[in-house]
Structure formats: C-alpha cells, structure tokens
Structure 1
Amino acid sequence: MLSILLVPALHDNYIYLLHEPNSGETAVVDPAVSAPVVDALQQQDWQLDYIFNTHHHGDHVGANLELKQLTGCKIVGSAADQARIPGIDITVSDGDVVKLGNQKFQVIDTPGHTVGHIVYYGADSQALFCGDTLFSLGCGRLFEGSAEQMWHSLQKLKALPAETRIYCAHEYTAANGRFALSIDADNPKLQQRITQVTELRRQNLPSIPSTIGLELATNPFFRADNVSIRSNIDMTEQSDLAVFRQLRLLKDQFQ
C-alpha cells in the first residue's frame, strides 16, 4: 500500500509525501517550501528519494534545490519543460512510468495551465497527483496554454476510473464551489458537496482528496455537455469546447 501524507504549505498549497513501505522509498510532489516537508519526513522517519514536479511554477518547485541538497534526492519533471524545473535529474513524457518501490505512476501530459504540465496517475494506488490542471470543483487558469489544450487535458482525466482519488495542489474547493453554484444551482449533488466542504473547512480540515466520480457529478469544467449548465449560460447550441472556454472566462471574472 502507498502511504499518502498531505502537507499544507504557504496560504493554500498542498504538498504530498508518498511512501512505499516495502522498499522504504519516499517521494514528495510539488514541494513549494522545504520546512514543512523536512518536518514531516523527520516525524515519519522517512528518507526522501524523489521529487515529482507537475510544472515549473515557483509554488511547486520552490524547495527543489534545497531538498536535493539536504537529501540527495532525484528530481523528476517534464522533458518538455526541463529548462524551467530547478535541479531536474529525470525527464519524463506522456506515457512514461515512474516507479516508487513497487508502486507505478503513469505520466500524462496535461498542457493548459502551463505548456509543460504533467500529472502522475497511480492505477494500483487509485491516486492522481494533478498539480494545477484539475482542482476539486475547478481547473487551472490558462496562464500559458489554450482553452483547447486544457479541454483535451481534462478529457484524459475524465476517462480515469471513477474511484481515482484526486490530490490537487491547492485548497480551492470552497471558492470553486461558489462559482459552480452560480451556474449549476439546481444540481443536488453539488449542493450536498458544498455543505460537506463548508463543514470540513469550518473544522480547518482539507477538502482533498476528491474523486473522478465526484468531479464528474459536480465539477462544471467536467460538465460542458450538461444541458442545465448550457442553458444557464445561454450556450445550448455551441460545442463542448466553446462552452468550456466560456466557463473558464466566467470563472476568471467571478467575484
């Protein structure tokens, strides 16, 4: 079994420590800062072997060099973006497999938020480490890529098994939920989910992980084909891509 430890950092970042007990190997996903990672490693008595980066933004690679210097770990990142991943040792591309002990993670290219964004999918662990491509009730902003790229990236993730747990890199669920309700207010599963998220956050507990199945039922960016959403934004006849593009624009402008 893969142990997954959620490590909060900065204002709303989540860093993930992955530990495979048979081999004793440990990886960290998107370390924004080093101190909470080092503290968690010491508390668990784990030795860091790898850093798995999803993309180059500073709040995902900020601790790369310091952790590498402290632990001698190897840094894994996208071959398409290796010039922007500090300290990168191992380059990967779509379809490659990264191993942590006996746990395997498939690399999936997901451009949109950045042009070199990748995610790590573990079929055996039923876990997806998706950085800033997919969020609970949302998706990443289009800083470098196009709406078409992000739409195609999301289609890849929608096709994963429904039970796949989603470990995204930020606690954005409550804010994403307010937007989702603004264009999908009659969705009872969304209403129920917002109630659950509100209670979790009231207790200062994470709303992560979500699942692919839950996102299919509640995330508007997975649901551009939904008749009600299309009607609510006056786009009943447009393509799914056009609806997605409009949803992303509306979310960017949402207060």
Structure 2
Amino acid sequence: MLHVHQFPCLSDNYGYLVHDTESHETLAIDTPDARAYLAEAEAKGWRITQIWNTHWHPDHAGGNEAIKAATGCTITGPAEIEGKFPIDRIVGHGETLRLGAVEAAVIDVSGHTNGHIAYHFASEGVAFVGDSVFALGCGRMFEGEPRQFWASLARIKALPPETLLYCAHEYTESNARFALHADPDNAALKAYAEEIAAKRARSEWTVPTRLERELATNPFLRADDPAMMARWGGSAPHETFAALRAAKDNF
C-alpha cells in the first residue's frame, strides 16, 4: 500500500513523497527543494530511497544531488536529465518501475519539454504528471510542438477516469480564469471554478485533481470536443490545442 505525502515548496510547487508501507521504501517525485524534501521525510520517519524525475527543469530535478548525497538514493528519470543533474537510470515510455512491489508505468507526456514523462500507479489509481497537465490547464510548450503535446494529453485522457492526477504546481485559480474565457458555456466548469475560488480563499490546495473532472472542464483536454473546435478553430484536435495554448500564453 502506498501513502502519498504532499507538501508545498518553493513559491508554488508541490513536493511529493510516496511511501510503501510494506517495503518501507520512500520515493521522491521530483526534487524542487532538497531541504524541504529531506525535512519532510525526517518528520515522517522515512528515508528517501528513490527519486523519479518527470523532466529536466531545475524546479523538478535541482535537488537530485543534495538528496542523493544525504540518502544514497537511486535517481531515475528521462534521458533529458543526463548532463544537467545527477541520474542513475534512464527510462522511457512503456517501461515499468517499482516502489517495493508496487508497479508504475512510465508514460511519454512530452511537449512542455521534449523528454517529459509521467508515472502511473494503476493499482493505486494515481498518476504523477509533473508539468504536463494541471488542474484546468497544461504546461507551457517550451520545447515541443502541438501535435506532440496533444498526443501526450491523449495518453493522459486514456487513463481510467477515476485516476487522481498529482500535478506539480498550484496554478489552478489562474487556470480557471482562462478556462472560463475559453469555454464560457460549460456549466460544470463554472461550478468547478467557484469551488476553486472558495478553496483558495481558505488557502486550501486544489491538487490532486480527478481526471474525470478534468475531462469535463479542462479546455486543453477538450480540444477534441466539437464545440471547442468550432469556437477555437482547427480541423484537427492538435490545431485546436495549439490555438488554446497560444491564447493562454497571451492571456
């Protein structure tokens, strides 16, 4: 059985420690703030044995060296980490990893960066998606191109709808403002946005988010919906996605 410990770090990141209660292994998903991760692990009485990076950005892999020095853990991630931050094992789409006896599938979710991956624990109903998708949003397209990014989002869309998506940042309130602009007639979105505003007013987290809800409300995951395609143009979903992403970049 896995226990996910979530905590805020840096300005708007979330840190995740995943603890296997059978093997007593502890996994760090990304390493935005080494001190915070080590302190949180110590407070829980856990020792970090593995790091799994989602992509190369410093607020996701910048703590690799310090955490490895403190714990001797093994670092796994996409090839793009190599040469930028310490890594012991490179993995890609379709491979399987283990935390204790619990398996996770590696999924290509490139687009934000060209090597971005996510980790899906099917038995636990959770996925750690980094900056590929957020509650009511998706990552900026720093390195990829629209067809590639849409294919990545399609892989996320194909996960079981009850999957909890653990995103890497608390961007939901600002994402909601754009989502309402992009899809103003969506009643489910309006209700979701009101709930988000109330949570943030109470300084509550909006992550994780359930995929089923995102499928109904997240404009980037709905780029294949006929109504969204009509509103935003494009003869194919990746073209509609490109229009949405460009609009969000300038919103």
TM-score interval, smaller chain: over 0.9
The residue aligned with 2:152 is 153
- Within a 5 Å distance, the mapping from 1:42-191 to structure 2 comes to 42-78=42-78, 80-191=79-190
Q: In 1, distance between residues paired with 2:37 and 2:115?
A: 25
The residue aligned with 1:243 is 240
Residue 86 of structure 1 aligns to a residue whose secondary structure is coil
Unaligned segments of structure 2, at least 5 residues: none
Q: In 2, distance between residues paired with 1:85 and 1:119?
A: 19
Native 8 Å contact 2:55 2:81 kept in 1: no
Native 8 Å contact 1:77 1:85 kept in 2: no
Q: Offset at 1:228?
A: 3.2
Q: Offset at 1:137?
A: 0.6
1:253 aligns with 2:241: no
Q: In 1, distance between residues paired with 2:124 and 2:200?
A: 26
Q: In 2, distance between residues paired with 1:231 and 1:54?
A: 34
Given residue 188 of structure 1, which amino acid in structure 2 is its aligned partner? A
Given residue 135 of structure 1, which amino acid in structure 2 is its aligned partner? F
Q: In 2, distance between residues paired with 1:232 and 1:21?
A: 48
What do the CA deviations read for 1:115-138 (whole angstroms, capped 9, x no partner)?
Answer: 111110000111110111111111
Residue 220 of structure 1 aligns to a residue whose secondary structure is coil
The residue aligned with 2:8 is 8
Unaligned segments of structure 1, at least 5 residues: none
Given residue 102 of structure 2, which amino acid in structure 1 is its aligned partner? Q
Aligned length: 251
What do the CA deviations read for 1:13-63 (whole angstroms, capped 9, x no partner)?
Answer: 011100000100000111111121111111110011001100000000111
Native 8 Å contact 1:56 1:84 kept in 2: no
What do the CA deviations read for 1:137-194 (whole angstroms, capped 9, x no partner)?
Answer: 1111111111111000000110000000000101111111100000211111101111
Given residue 118 of structure 2, which amino acid in structure 1 is its aligned partner? V
Native 8 Å contact 1:55 1:85 kept in 2: no
Q: In 2, distance between residues paired with 1:238 and 1:130?
A: 28
Given residue 101 of structure 1, which amino acid in structure 2 is its aligned partner? G
Aligned sequence identity (%): 41
Q: In 1, distance between residues paired with 2:240 and 2:34?
A: 40
The residue aligned with 2:206 is 207
After the TM superposition, which segments of 4 or more aligned residues of structure 1 sit over 6 Å from their partners?
Answer: none
Q: Offset at 1:85?
A: 4.8
Q: TM-score when scaled to structure 1?
A: 0.95
Q: In 1, distance between residues paired with 2:60 and 2:98?
A: 20
Residue 3 of structure 1 aligns to a residue whose secondary structure is strand
Q: In 2, distance between residues paired with 1:61 and 1:243?
A: 31
Q: In 1, distance between residues paired with 2:168 and 2:143?
A: 18
Residue 7 of structure 2 aligns to a residue whose secondary structure is strand
The residue aligned with 1:194 is 193
Q: TM-score when scaled to structure 2?
A: 0.97
Residue 51 of structure 2 aligns to a residue whose secondary structure is strand
Q: Offset at 1:81?
A: 1.6
What do the CA deviations read for 1:173-227 (whole angstroms, capped 9, x no partner)?
Answer: 1111100000211111101111111111111111001111111000000111323
Q: In 2, distance between residues paired with 1:226 and 1:90?
A: 39
Q: In 2, distance between residues paired with 1:10 and 1:82?
A: 20
Q: In 2, distance between residues paired with 1:230 and 1:97?
A: 35
Residue 82 of structure 2 aligns to a residue whose secondary structure is helix
